[in-house]
Amino acid sequence: MKQIFIISLLSFCLLFNGCGENLNNTPTKQVEMFFMNYQTLNQDVIEDLNDVLTTDNSMTETQKDKYKDIMKNHYKNLVYDVKDESVNGDTAIVTVEIEVYDYSKIIANVNKYLEEHPDEFADDDNNYSQEKFMDYRLEELEKVKDKVKYTLDLNLTKVGDKWQMDQISSIDEDKILGIYEY
């Protein structure tokens, strides 16, 4: 599931950086647009999520729909606050505080529960059922109410006259997606 989060985020970054000219082209505005596109469920964000789910073989179609709803809720409820912008020539760092659902605790608890209760995820032939486990995992992710705050330093580079976000680190990706293990 972490791969789905990461691929979705990376693909959107690439798509976002290729977009047309922004009249308010500052590092801060680019970061704000990045997060606002998630909050507003921008068509590109949803298409990217759909593309990622199309290639995922670990979930049934019903599970994919449930996962998509979980992610849409996560995106809509992501909160950000730009704290600082530092520009040095054609590079910039924008410091932003984000608040996201804390999925990391649930994922750890779900995995521990699987280890302690493997029989609950057995099929009729007493073999491990990925489908049963994924149903359980998605049900638990839907229940998440706790949030966590992180501070990110996002790097941007000016290419021509346009500020573009650099590739986000895997740690920052995990934080944005609420799966960072702290």
Q: What pLDDT shows up at residue 48? A: 87
Judge whether residue 14 has pLDDT over 50: no
pLDDT (tens digit, 9 = 90+) per residue, 16-57? 554 445 467 999 999 999 999 999 999 988 998 899 899 999
SS (H, E, C) 53-72: HHHCCCCCHHHHHHHHHHHH
pTM, two decimals, is 0.81
Model confidence at 8, in pLDDT bands (50, 70, 90)?
low
Whether the predicted pLDDT of 5 surpasses 70: no
At 144-153, the pLDDT tens digits run 999 999 999 9
User: What separation in angstroms does the CA of 94 have from each of 26, 71, 84?
Assistant: 10, 25, 6
Q: What angle do CA 103, 107, 111 make, to 5 degrees?
A: 175
pLDDT at 52: 86
70 vs 36, 129, 174, CA distance in Å?
18, 22, 16
Answer yes or no: is pLDDT of 13 > 80.
no
